[in-house]
Amino acid sequence: MMESGVSFCNSCGEQVGVDGNGEVFVACHECYFPICKACVDYETSEGRSVCLRCGNPYADKTRGKDDTKVPANQSTTTAAQISTSQDVGLHARHISTVSTTTVDSELNDESGNPIWKNRVESWKEKDKKNKKKKEAPKAGNETPVPHEQQMDEMQPSSEAAAAEPLSVIIPVSKSKLGPYRTVIIMRLVILGLFFHYRVTHPVDSAFGLWLTSIICEIWFAFSWVLDQFPKWSPINRVAFTDRLSARFEREGEPCQLAPVDFFVSTVDPLKEPPLITANTVLSILAVDYPVEKVSCYVSDDGAAMLTFESLVETADFARKWVPFCKKFEIEPRAPEFYFSQKIDYLKDKVQPSFVKERRAMKREYEEYKVRVNALVAKAQKTPDEGWTMQDGTSWPGNNSRDHPGMIQVFLGHSGAHDIEGNELPRLVYVSREKRPGYQHHKKAGAENALVRVSAVLTNAPYILNLDCDHYVNNSKAVREAMCFLMDPVVGRDVCYVQFPQRFDGIDRSDRYANRNTVFFDVNMKGLDGIQGPVYVGTGCVFNRQALYGYSPPSMPPLPKSSSCCCFPSKKPAKDVSELYKDAKREELDAAIFNLREIENYDEYERSMLISQLSFEKTFGLSTVFIESTLMENGGVSESADPSMLIKEAIHVIGCGYEEKTAWGKEIGWIYGSVTEDILTGFKMQCRGWRSIYCMPLRPAFKGSAPINLSDRLHQVLRWALGSVEIFLSRHCPLWYGFAGGRLKLLQRLAYINTIVYPFTSLPLVAYCTLPAICLLTGKFIIPTLSNIASALFLGLFISIILTSVLELRWSGVTIEDLWRNEQFWVIGGVSAHLFAVFQGFLKMLAGVDTNFTVTAKAADDAEFGELYMIKWTTLLIPPTSLIIINLVGVVAGFSDALNGGYESWGPLIGKVFFAFWVIFHLYPFLKGLMGRQNRTPTIVILWSVLLASVFSLIWVKINPFVSKVDSSAISQTCISIDC
């Protein structure tokens, strides 16, 4: 990292410094990888004396001559300095480089008693003495091994494996990217010339229609710029899981792979079937990763006894399913989807026992399904007195809005083993406390509760969150993510690794663009070339330290005087509060830095010190949780009492735990929007973190998507409403996060696009109405075209087509996917996005929360029967109206042309072209309304007849758009005729 001509170490984030000759210190003379001398010494002492980037051995001259002889009076100071530099370099998050004196003065000021300063100093002195005692025997008994001899003793194979990168970037070839960028620039130039012509050639006879069309077209161009330019530098990545194993899973050595905590969220088991959630859990428990490194947390935000009982059955079935999966390496490891595959399951299976064991396992799974479905059938009707557990006591979650916190640990090292006696991953059921009068923040609050519970119980450094209907389709997906997160160079500044979403159960035509292929295969690849993809809510592996609100290691702390807004506040009080918050964050960083230096201290004194440093104001009133945040590599103390940890876990999921803390504001999932995923990722990248987009050949995770029209529109409505909420909040990308300049310009454009796209619905509705009005009035928004104007229109259409074609070329997306995406952009824009804009303003400005009810109809039992399910909702009204208006306009236009003669057909072509453009884009919507075998709901027929009758009467009888005939002019004309 280079900043103001100063080179910073890529290991610890400090300045590289100079060597004995006063020149900039260089560790590797092959690739000139910036790393400071202290980090080189540490790597050498650990037996890793090769460059982190190129793998070449460090030159002997990287060690200064002063290293061999140190004056006696300076030995302690030098050791302390090196230890400090090394400690900073090992941190997984940004640790402020505030001096010890500064921290001590802060302690003295806050406590009002210099005893805290003396305690910290005494701990450090004790720490230094112990280090000297440990180093003295080694110096007396062992002779130093020359550096050259150490290099010779290292095995070439292990050194090469350690030097090889765990992932590589494969940029899009210049032959594909060059023409793509050229066409984008050409299209931008043509747009400028096009708007110059449109503005300078108004249509006086239809000025209102012309002005409306100009405003709409300018907004469409602005929207295109926001969507297009973040795709300027798309890249692909390849991860090497074999190299990961060679580096961190060596034979005869303990496994060094980092632990991972899996989060699964569910609310209502009647809407989210327990069997689907159970398949997700089973696929996690059977993942291809060391079992002691995996923990699965299931959040039941509905406190349903059905969910708990189904997990009991799932834990029992996992004892048979997990060893079966790992023995035969089957994919996917969700039993429902594995057994439903229509493939030859005998292919590549050479074990003679496979067929027999597969049949036995399928029988076991069918029996397991019967037990779970029996639980579901029993739960359809809740008893008047509520549910009762097997011991006769009432289920604590009978009132889902008023119940205590509940935690149950299944499996794990202290629980049941599989049928072969092997250990299983830990499975934990969590239902956070809920009480009336508290704001629980829906899914974001549930995820934050899981962050705290997992920190207390297992504290893995990485977190993978999944929706309850997204199972692990690729058992090596976690290893793919670790190739980025555990890479010493790539993973330092990575806050999360995002996988694309893939779906089952969608028909081949993908009528409503449920797969979102254009977004996941085009837009996200483009963002990966800038600062990383946005967080999309599921299938994402987080760095836990990034969730705690810290900056990346290579980034200096934000200046205290800088605000998160690009516009300075007019109120001095607000500036003071911002400065106070920045000071508190830096104070917390400095406190963690000093506590990590100290190995020998009194536990009671440290807990008091934590309280004294106001950690609680950031993380909450839990010393156990706060101490877990100080462990950079995660883990729980071996001496910790499990019963005590469970009590503390219950405490951190209390409904009042987050009050007066930074949870939901700076820490964890961010509150303030139903699309908490976009907001959470945005806050991380504003701090300087980057993200990674991982697309393995076999999809990592697969889920289910709503494939019928009504459910799809309501899903899009929820996303659009979240974007409007962010737009109206303080976290709007238009002004938030300019301090420090850590969010790149193109990345900011991408985030702006994610929050302004619902507003495109307003000009889109107007533009889709214009063709019908032009046909009904006989007017048009474009004057008679000249040769130059015709060339501009032709160039614009060609550039649009070329942009799409070249995009398809480098992304691999099919033209059908692109067309479906274009169609649903119009369908969603004139329905869900339109309602989201009005609902968002009503909710954020007036406090009115509007809900749209959905009435479900029965679907056929055939394959994709849900596709033809009709659910009448108010979201269907605007698209239906637009279709009918344009159909009536087309009929009216052809009628006028027939009556007007040959000269009327020329202007009709342009008007009809735009009308059919609207109809073709809304065709999937029309087909969805018709359903199977034209069984259209009665309400749709009535609405269509009503609209058609109204507009026909307006056109035939009232004629409000046609200018009135001047009778005096007619009489004057008649007089002049010579009869």
Tell me: the pLDDT tens digits for 641-680?
A: 788 888 888 999 988 888 888 888 888 999 988 888 899 9
State percent of the chain over pLDDT 70. 71
> 117 and 107 in contact (C-beta within 8 Å)?
yes
Mean of the pLDDT values across residues 784-794? 83
- Provide the CB-side half-sphere exposure for 418 (13 A, CA): 20
Side-chain-side CA neighbours of residue 366 (13 Å): 8
At 461, the pLDDT band (50, 70, 90 cuts) reads very high
φ/ψ of 720, rounded to 5, equals -65, -40
- Beta partners for residue 692, in sequence order: 497
Q: What is the CATH number of domain 253-381+395-553+664-705?
A: 3.90.550.10
Quick check: 16 pLDDT over 90? no
Number of residues in the chain: 979
pLDDT tens track for 57-103: 776 544 443 443 333 333 333 233 333 333 333 333 333 322 333 33
951-972 pLDDT tens trace: 656 655 555 444 444 555 545 5
Residue ranges of alpha helices (H) inside 728-831 are 745-756, 761-777, 787-811, 815-829
Sheet holding 260-266, edge to edge: 406-411, 426-431, 294-300, 260-266, 462-467, 540-543, 494-498, 690-693
Phi-psi region of 404 (alpha: psi -120 to 50; beta: other; left: phi over 0): beta
Task: Tell me what the pLDDT averaged over the chain comes to.
Answer: 76
The confidence band for 222, taking pLDDT boundaries of 50, 70 and 90, is very high
* pLDDT given at position 385: 81
What is the pLDDT, as a whole number, of residue 164? 80
- What tokens does 170 get? 């494969």
Indicate the annotated binding residues.
265, 271-272, 301, 442-443, 467
The pLDDT assigned to 183 comes to 93
pLDDT above 50 for 575: no
pLDDT of residue 321: 92
What is the domain class of 1-60 according to CATH? alpha beta
Distances (CA, A) of 829 to 148, 538, 813, 817, 875: 68, 24, 22, 18, 11
pLDDT at position 22 over 70: no
* Neighbouring-strand partners of residue 429: 298, 408
Q: What is the mean pLDDT of residues 834-842?
A: 88
Q: CB–CB of 872/929 below 8 Å?
A: no
Look at residue 276 in the predicted model and tell me its pLDDT.
92
Residue 7 — pLDDT band, cuts 50, 70, 90? low
pLDDT over 80 (residue 742): yes
pLDDT at 590: 54
Number of other residues whose CB lies within 10 A of the CB of residue 18: 11
The pLDDT of residue 204 is: 83
pLDDT digits (tens, 9 = 90+) for 392-417: 788 888 888 888 889 988 887 666 77
User: How far, in Å, CA of 300 to CA of 395, rounded?
Assistant: 14
User: What digits encode the pLDDT tens for the residues 100-119?
Assistant: 333 333 333 433 344 444 44
Residue 757 has pLDDT above 60, yes or no: yes
Q: What is the pLDDT of residue 935?
A: 54
Burial 928-956 (b: 16+ CB within 10 A, else e): bbebeeeeebeebeebbeebeeebeeebe
Rounded CA-CA distance 545/632 in Å is: 8
Best CA proximity match to 424, nearest among 265, 317, 333: 317
Residue boundaries of the structural domains of the chain? 1-60, 171-231+707-937, 253-381+395-553+664-705
The answer to whether 656 and 457 are in contact (CB under 8 A) is no
CA angle 692, 694, 695 (to 5 degrees): 150
Identify the pLDDT of residue 563: 39
pLDDT of amino acid 714: 87
What Å distances lie between residue 857 and 338, 771, 854, 939, 955, CA to CA?
30, 34, 10, 13, 36
Residue 208 is which amino acid? G
* Local structure of 469: helix, strand or coil: coil
- Average pLDDT value for residue range 815-840: 90
Instruction: Using pLDDT thresholds of 50, 70 and 90, give the confidence band for residue 230.
Output: very high
The reported pLDDT for the residue numbered 98 is 29
Domains 1-60 and 253-381+395-553+664-705 alike in fold: no
pLDDT of residue 9: 77
Task: Please spell the DSSP secondary structure of 13-35, one letter per residue.
Answer: SSB--B-TTSSBP-S-TTT----
Give the DSSP H/E element, type plus range, for residue 118: helix 115-141
Q: Is 930's pLDDT higher than 50?
A: yes
Most confident of 350-354, 461-465, 486-490, 884-888: 461-465
Q: What's the pLDDT score for residue 348?
A: 66
Q: Which of 104, 493, 528, 677 is catalytic?
A: 677
Is position 677 annotated as part of the catalytic site? yes
pLDDT by residue (tens digit) across 908-922?
Answer: 787 888 888 888 898
The binding site for UDP-alpha-D-glucose comprises: 265, 271-272, 301, 442
Q: How far apart are CA 903 and CA 900, in angstroms?
A: 7
261, 301, 487, 493: the active-site residue: 301
- Contact present, 634 and 389 (Cβ < 8 Å): no
Q: Beta partners for 702? A: 471, 502
Which residues does 502 contact at the CB level (< 8 Å), separation at least 6? 473, 515, 699, 701, 702, 703
Per-residue pLDDT tens over the stretch 248-291: 888 888 888 999 999 999 988 888 889 999 999 999 999 999 99
Residue 30 has pLDDT above 60, yes or no: yes
Amino acid sitting at position 558: L
Partners of residue 239 on adjacent β-strands: 167
CA–CA dist 87, 294 (Å, integer)? 27
Query: Is it the case that residue 462 has pLDDT exceeding 50?
Result: yes
pLDDT mean over 473-497: 91
SS3 502: strand
